[in-house]
């Protein structure tokens, strides 16, 4: 397979970087993980599963590198958190004040997988459902349903906290 590395880098760098930023919320760490993603992809001669797009394949590499990096840094200095919360029409009112935002983040932290990651990728990463499904090796419909169920779980827990 004849691959133009520069072309792939130019096409996908910002998308992979944006994806990683949703995970780490730190530009320096995100840039490092993104660079390592392309380096790792280059080492494997850009061979990926044919049923996955190049972007999905690169995001999967980035996600795995993020997990490795997170484990390395977890004990010494956890990733910085961000006060910036992306908009989602159903959570707009709750996210307007810091206390509600804090509660949502606490609830999100306790959510079980895959709800936690799917919600995070959709709301904070602003990834389309099709891409989220591909990252998990599932369908777009699966990603939509999982996201919807995560929102329901968060709402239920918010309602229980308000009582």
* 65-118 residue pLDDT tens: 888 877 776 645 444 333 333 334 444 444 445 566 777 778 878 888 888 888
Please give the Cα distance from 130 to 144 (Å, whole number): 9
- 150/117 Cα distance (integer angstroms): 9
What pLDDT is attached to residue 86?
36
- 41-77, pLDDT tens digit by residue? 887 766 665 656 788 888 888 888 888 877 776 645 4
The full set of domains in the chain, from first to last, is 5-74 (1.10.1740.10), 89-162 (1.10.10.10)
Token pair, residue 56, equals: 């999905």
Spell out the residues 6+ positions from residue 141 whose beta carbon is closer than 8 angstroms to its own. Answer: 133
Q: Structure tokens of 79?
A: 């990733």
Q: What is the pLDDT at residue 74?
A: 62
**Burial track 43-52 (b if 16+ CB lie within 10 A, e otherwise):** eeebebeeee
């Amino acid at each position: 397979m004849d691959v133009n590395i520069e072309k792939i880098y130019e096409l996908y760098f910002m998308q992979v970087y944006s994806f990683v930023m949703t995970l780490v919320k730190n530009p320096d760490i995100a840039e490092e993980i993104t660079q390592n993603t392309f380096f790792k992809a280059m080492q494997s001669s850009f061979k990926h599963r044919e049923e996955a797009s190049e972007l999905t394949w690169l995001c999967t590499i980035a996600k795995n590198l993020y997990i490795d990096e997170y484990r390395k840094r977890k004990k010494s200095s956890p990733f910085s958190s961000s006060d910036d919360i992306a908009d989602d029409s159903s959570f707009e009112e709750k996210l307007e004040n810091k206390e509600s935002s804090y509660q949502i983040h606490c609830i999100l932290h306790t959510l079980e997988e895959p709800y936690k990651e799917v919600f995070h990728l959709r709301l904070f990463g602003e990834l389309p459902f099709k891409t989220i499904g591909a990252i998990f090796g599932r369908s777009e419909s699966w990603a939509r349903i999982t996201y919807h169920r995560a929102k329901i779980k968060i709402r239920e827990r918010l309602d229980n906290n308000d009582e």
